Amino acid sequence: MRAYWQTYSKSKLDNKIQADVESALTQYKDEIYEKVEWDVFKQAMAVCFIALEWMGWKRKRLRKFHGQVEEVCRMMATGIMGREVTTRDALNHLKDAYGIEFKESLCDDQAGNERR
């Protein structure tokens, strides 16, 4: 049996290790961001549903709203007539059409403390 090996100089080996580490870290970071993104989305949706419930919405309206949210999410994911719809597009629509603007301090408490 014949053995095959590849030799590296110290600098090539350092570069290879660095590239492999960066690749692994990027993959791990992307996985974490995807999980956090989904968690933030679910948290935001829960806030919306609770607010609607407090406004008197019950099972039938909340379920219908849930269906509409699913449709809008699907539309944003697939695009409209070949054009991607981004979160920024949706926020700009709400601001332009209704004067609703989501500010960074939206969920800060009354004392002005930062969110946790």
Under a CB-based contact definition with an 8 Å cutoff, are residues 36 and 49 in contact? Answer: no
Asked whether the predicted pLDDT for residue 85 surpasses 50, the reply is yes
pLDDT (mean) for 42-66: 93
CA distance 74 to 67: 11
Q: Which range in 55-64, 70-79, 107-116 is most confidently predicted, on average pLDDT?
A: 55-64
Output the pTM of the full model: 0.58
What one-letter code names the amino acid at 16? Answer: K
Task: Collect contacts of 87-94 with beta carbons under 8 A, ≥24 apart.
Answer: none
Residue-range domain boundaries for the chain: 12-57, 58-102
Q: Please give the angle made by the CA atoms of 86, 89 and 95, to the nearest 5 degrees.
A: 145
